[in-house]
Amino acid sequence: MEIGLASVALIALANYGVFAETSSTTARRDVEVVVVYGSREGDTDADVDLDANLDRTASATRVDVEVRSDAHASLSDILSEVPGVGVRRTGGMGAAANVMLRGADANHTSVLLGDLPLGSADAPTIDIGQLPLTLFGQVEVYRGGAPVWLSEGSIGGVLRLIPRQGDASVITAEIGAGSFGSTWGSVETRIAHDTGGSFIRAGVERSRGDYPYRDDGGTRFVASDDLTRRRANAEVTTVYGMAHVRFKTRAGQWSFLALGSHREGGEPGPAALPTEGAERKRSTAVSGVAFTRRGRLDEDHRYRVQARAGVTYSANQFTDAKGELGLGPIDAHDRDVSVQGRVAATADATRWLEGTIVLAPRHDLRMPFDRLAYERGRGDEREPASMRTSISASLETRLHGALAGRRAELRPSVQAMWSSASLYGNGAPLSPRSDMLAPTVRIGALVELSRGLTLMASAATGHRVPTILELFGNRSQLVGNLDLLPERSRTADLGLDFARAFEVVSLYGEARIFGLLLDDLIRYRRTSKFTAVPENILHARILGFEAGARVQIGDHLNMRANATALSTQDELGHALPLRPSLVASFEPSLRSGEIVEGTFDDLLGFISIEHTSSNFIDPANLVEIPPRTWVGAGVRAELFDARASAALTLHDVFDTRGFDVLGFPLPGRRMDATISYTETF
């Protein structure tokens, strides 16, 4: 039985109502727009990296996550600093978290590891809480439609996690500890050579997660019965490892990537429904290989081709033998396998015209199994397996050159995805096949107005095909619907980017307005006390403004700020749930520079302020999540010619706490400390 996902969906029903270099390594954490222009002047065949030439018109922001001073930062921490990004957390370290781009649903965001999609046919988005930040060198966020090279037609956009690579020959060890029984440790080695390099990292993280929270006793508007309790059954342990190997041959460049993680612990459930014995275990393995060749047809015509293949496997076990979460006794063992491929080619037709074509087949298989139901004889066979086969084809033309002496670029593209889903049992289909064709189009443009100032605009359509769970149900509480249509979107944005470096001051800024129209959104409608069916019943409109800025003054002072404002409305005039009208943050940092030569290299301190306005938990806008402001501070010391470092971070100084999802309280005041040592060989 697909009850692991079903339990999440039912809880949601109850609550919901149904590789470029950065400009500076002296900043605490560099956040920048992708500033590599398409014309690629000065590039050589040996130096051009495939990752450095993605679509700049797609409202792209790149974050260098290797240069940071906060202790044990997470992906959630990093992404909350990017304009247009919303992060929803369900707890502390190791708890589930997901990403929303420009107010779109979490399942409207595609997450890639390099170029490998990480979602499955039943979960198009992933839990970013299970991915340690230390595995990645950079994070890219595309909010204005997806670059065609990534072969994604997502409604919200794309989150791309770029693995670290062997750019030096070093070995690093790191240990740390924090509040609520949190501990972690890892070992990393990098090897660089003339033809490539390798990166290997393995680590473990553990937390009791027993932070205090306010229990309102189910009477939200009556404070007299409120109690302070500690989160129970929230312990979690994560073991992970990743290897990334790249090398060049005479034929081209090869890349091998392998990621594995295992997380297990208690399933605390909503605060109003605490558990004692519910458990969840999840194991994930991702592997991929890619071959890239680039060269010149002649003096004026260059090309690059890439072939990639990958496999993703996940095993998700959810055990609630006592039925503490209200769904009855469950021992679900669900497995997902995804096999993916891609062939892509780019070539110059003329000095001002480039063409790109991408073909990406994929096959997903889901195998659910409820052990308790099987042993109790509620079925003579295992639950049926579901599968989906899809193939997408993308075509883009890129016109680039000069307009009135200024750089200009135009990128029209089209993509079509065909998908076929079916449900199988005992080797035979159990229901009619669901076939869908989902085309998308996009056009992006930019023009340089003056030195360092660029105007950009884009318009795109997007889609999300129904999940296996939505199509076929779980043969229990959730009923399938084969008549579902793909969710569709239309989006447009207009913005400015500014980047200039003066003698003492460096400035970077981005600002955009955007609009998003959503049609045929899938929501569950209750059909009885215990069942619900998905239907295309919602249309919505989102308007917004996003801005980010970074100022660096000399070698000592750095300031970062970003803000996202949203105005959302469904067809009944209500605001969409879980969309704060304003999210803003500000972070100044100050560094000393070298204090004692060869011993005390640098001391950096920072203060962070993050504000989230109130928002509604339900479609009818009856229950409101109050606003919150978090204040944090930290310090980091670099020692012994940068071989050693120590960092201390204090989060939520004023113990504001709060929550992103009603019923799942977030930890309040807490502290993290990390020590690391690096040796070159």
**Can you spell out the DSSP letters for 600-665?**
EEEEEEEEEEEEE--EESSTTS-SEEPPEEEEEEEEEEEETTTTEEEEEEEE-TT-----SBTTBP
- Residue 40 has a pLDDT of 29
Model pTM greater than 0.75? yes
Is residue 548 within 8 Å of residue 586, measured between CB atoms? Answer: no
pLDDT tier for residue 477 given thresholds of 50, 70 and 90 = confident
pLDDT per residue as tens digits for the range 592-619 = 999 999 899 999 999 999 999 999 988 8
CA angle 349, 354, 358 (to 5 degrees): 115
Q: Tell whether the model's pLDDT for residue 19 goes beyond 50.
A: no
Please say if the pLDDT value at position 351 is more than 70.
yes
Percent share of the chain, pLDDT over 70: 87
Considering only residues 216 and 487, tell me which one the structure prediction assigns the higher pLDDT: 487
Give burial (CB, 10 Å; 0-12/13-18/19+) of 251: exposed
| 436 vs 33, more confident | 436
Distance CA 293, CA 503 (A): 40
Percent of the chain with pLDDT over 90: 56
Q: Of the given ranges (425-429, 433-437, 671-675), which has the lowest mean pLDDT? A: 425-429
Q: Are 510 and 33 in contact (CB under 8 A)?
A: yes
**What domains lie within the chain, and their CATH numbers?**
25-680 (2.40.170.20)
Query: Could you tell me the pLDDT band of residue 358, with boundaries at 50, 70 and 90?
Result: very high
Taking the C-alpha atoms of residue 493 and residue 515, their distance in angstroms, rounded to an integer, is 6
Query: What whole-number distance in Å separates Cα of residue 533 and Cα of residue 638?
Result: 56
Q: What is the mean pLDDT of the chain?
A: 85
- Average pLDDT of span 568-582: 93
pLDDT digits (tens, 9 = 90+) for 69-112: 788 889 998 898 899 999 998 888 888 888 999 999 988 998 99
Q: Is the confidence at residue 312, as pLDDT, over 90?
A: yes
H, E, C per residue of 134-193:
HHEEEEEEECCCCCHHHCCCCCCEEEEEEECCCCCCEEEEEEEEECCCEEEEEEEEEEEE
pLDDT of residue 274: 85
Q: Do residues 500 and 550 lie in contact, with contact meaning Cβ atoms separated by under 8 Å?
A: no
User: What confidence score (pLDDT) does residue 428 get?
Assistant: 65
Is the Cβ–Cβ distance between 514 and 543 less than 8 Å? yes
Q: What is the CA radius of gyration of the chain?
A: 25
Task: Give per-residue burial for 51-81: e unless 16+ CB within 10 Å, then b.
Answer: bebbbbbbbbbbbbbeebbbbbbbbbbbbbb
Give me the residues paired with residue 600 across strands.
596, 639
- Greatest Cα pair distance, the chain, in angstroms, is 79
